[in-house]
Every structure is written in structure tokens, then in C-alpha cells.
Amino acid sequence: MAGNETRTAAEREHPDEGNATRIPAFRSSPPLSSLLTDLGPLAELAGTWSGDGFNLIARPNAGEGGPDLFLELNLTEETLKFDLIGAPIPNRGTSQIDIELFGLHSVGLGGPGL
């Protein structure tokens, strides 16, 4: 009974998870090829993409009568950049073992188009 008192509440509730491997605080970056493999279908998205696009804004119609909303369509030129995140992202829980997530950084730049 004395050994049970030194354990945390989470360890007492989930005794089998006390031996789970934790993700270390320092994580070195794995080879690029393994990161691309772990991304699955998102691996093909990595890189820089650019082209024409548009945005659609529903704004109040200031005129008298007619519909309450005016739909405004603006043409844009866009550049989207997706970079690999250099290491798995730890998702740490209190009552579950650690899991690793994989993903991409994304930056979108756009402006008035044609």
C-alpha cells in the first residue's frame, strides 16, 4: 500500500500506461526522405505554388431597394508555400501515450490580380 501512495493519480487510474515511452524533449531531425514518407499524400504538396485566383465577398448593399447583399468578386494573384516541419510534432496527453504528428508550414501571399 505504501508504494501506491507515491504514484500520481494518472498512474493509479492507468497503471499499464506508466511504462509507455515518452517522446524526448530534444528531437533531432530525421532524414528528409523519412519525413516525406510520413506525410503520406501531403508529401506532394510540399513546395511553392503560384497562379491566378479570386475571392468572393458578400457585403451590404448600400443602394436603396434591391437585395440586401452585394456579391463582390476580386481577381487575385496568389503564391502558396508549403515547407516541411523538420521533425515529428509530439502530441502529449495526460492519460494516453505520446503520439507523433507530421505536417507542413504554410504561407499564403496574395494580392490584386489581373
In the predicted structure, residue 1 carries a pLDDT above the cut 50: no
Residue at grid coordinates 487575385: 76
Q: Write the pLDDT tens digit of every residue in 34-63.
A: 778 888 888 899 899 999 988 899 988 877
> Which positions ≥6 away from 100 have C-beta within 8 Å?
23, 88, 89, 90, 91
Q: What is the pLDDT of residue 73?
A: 92
How far apart CA 7 and CA 13 sit, in angstroms, is 10
Where is pLDDT greater, at 32 or 54? 54
Q: What is the pLDDT of residue 22?
A: 66
Number of domains within the chain: 1
CA angle at 101 for the pair 100 and 106, rounded to the nearest 5°: 150
Where is pLDDT greater, at 3 or 102? 102
For residue 52, the enclosing domain spans: 2-112
Question: Which value, to the nearest 10 degrees, does the dihedral of the CA atoms of residues 43, 32, 104, 99 take?
Answer: 100
Dihedral (CA of 72, 73, 75, 79) sign: positive
Model confidence pTM above 0.75: no
